[in-house]
Amino acid sequence: MTQQVRRALGRFPVLAGVILLAGVNGALSSSAATDPTTPPAPPLEGSASARQSLANTCVFPDPAGERPVTMDVQATLPKVVATGKPVQIKDFSLTFTIGEGALGTVTEVSGVAAVELTAANGDKKTPLPVSLTIPATKVPATGELKLVATGKAPDVLLNVPSELRLTTGAPSLALTAAETPLKPITCTQAPDQNTLLGSVALLPIGKPKPQPGEPGERKKPGADTRAADDVHASALFPIALQPFELQGTSSITKLGAFARLKPAIMVNAVWEVDLENTEGPGKVTGSLIMPPSRMTFLGFGFVPISATMELLPEDHATGNHIIDVDGVAIPEPSGSSTVLTPLKVYGKLSEVTINGVALDVGDHCLTAEPIKINLRGEKYGMFTGGVVRTDPQWEDPAYKDFTLPAFSGCGVTEDLDSLLTGMASGPGNQACVGINQVGLPWDPERKCPNVDPPVARR
Three-state SS across 143-162? CCEEEEEECCCCCEEECCCE
Residues 6+ apart with CB under 8 A from 40: 81, 85, 86, 88, 155
Q: Quick one: pLDDT at residue 156?
A: 85
Q: Quick one: pLDDT at residue 299?
A: 65
Phi and psi of 94, rounded to 5°? -125, 135
Q: Quick one: pLDDT at residue 433?
A: 96
Q: How confident is the model at residue 9 (pLDDT cuts 50, 70, 90)?
A: very low
Range name among 248-257, 328-337, 402-411 with the lowest pLDDT average: 328-337
Q: What is the mean pLDDT of residues 49-68?
A: 93
- Reported as a single tens digit per residue, the pLDDT across 94-141 is 999 999 999 999 999 999 999 999 988 766 788 888 999 999 999 999
Q: How confident is the model at residue 300 (pLDDT cuts 50, 70, 90)?
A: low
Distance CA 186, CA 403 (A): 64
Q: What is the mean pLDDT of residues 10-20?
A: 24
Q: Quick one: pLDDT at residue 240?
A: 66
- Reported as a single tens digit per residue, the pLDDT across 413-457 is 999 999 889 888 999 999 999 999 888 889 999 999 988 877 655
Residue 371 has pLDDT above 90, yes or no: yes
Distance of CA 117 to the CA centre of its chain: 23
* CA 314, 316, 320, 322 torsion-angle sign: positive
Q: How confident is the model at residue 226 (pLDDT cuts 50, 70, 90)?
A: very low
Q: Quick one: pLDDT at residue 217?
A: 43
Distance CA 173, CA 183 (A): 9
Highest-pLDDT range among 157-166, 330-339, 448-457:
330-339
Q: How confident is the model at residue 203 (pLDDT cuts 50, 70, 90)?
A: confident
Find, among 388, 280, 279, the residue nearest to 44 by Cα. Answer: 279
Highest-pLDDT range among 168-172, 259-263, 270-274, 314-318:
168-172
Q: Quick one: pLDDT at residue 456?
A: 56
Q: How confident is the model at residue 13 (pLDDT cuts 50, 70, 90)?
A: very low
Q: What average pLDDT does the structure give for the chain?
A: 79
Range name among 4-18, 234-248, 250-264, 355-369 with the lowest pLDDT average: 4-18
Q: Quick one: pLDDT at residue 54?
A: 96
Q: What is the mean pLDDT of residues 204-214?
A: 46
Q: Quick one: pLDDT at residue 206?
A: 47
Q: Quick one: pLDDT at residue 327?
A: 79
Torsion of CA 41, 435, 445, 308, to 10 degrees: 180
- Cis ω for the linkage preceding 27 (within 30 of 0): no
Q: Kindly write down the DSSP assignment for every residue of 186-251, as one continuous string.
A: EEEEPSS---EEEEEEEE---PPPP-SSSTT--PPTTTT-S-GGG---SSEEEEE---EEEEEEEE
Angle at 82 between CA 218 and CA 44, to 5 degrees: 50
Q: What is the mean pLDDT of residues 54-67?
A: 94
User: Are 410 and 416 in contact, with CB atoms under 8 Å apart?
Assistant: yes
**Which residue did the predictor score with more confidence, 34 or 110?**
110
Phi and psi of 61, rounded to 5°? -60, 150
Highest-pLDDT range among 157-171, 284-298, 440-454:
440-454
Phi and psi of 315, rounded to 5°? -100, 35
Distance CA 410, CA 364 (A): 6
Residue 28 has pLDDT above 90, yes or no: no
Amino acid at 216: G
pTM exceeding 0.85 = no
Distance CA 125, CA 119 (A): 6
Cβ atoms within 10 Å, residue 379 = 15
Distance of CA 64 to the CA centre of its chain: 42
Q: Quick one: pLDDT at residue 351?
A: 93
User: Are 182 and 61 in contact, with CB atoms under 8 Å apart?
Assistant: yes
Distance CA 247, CA 436 (A): 9
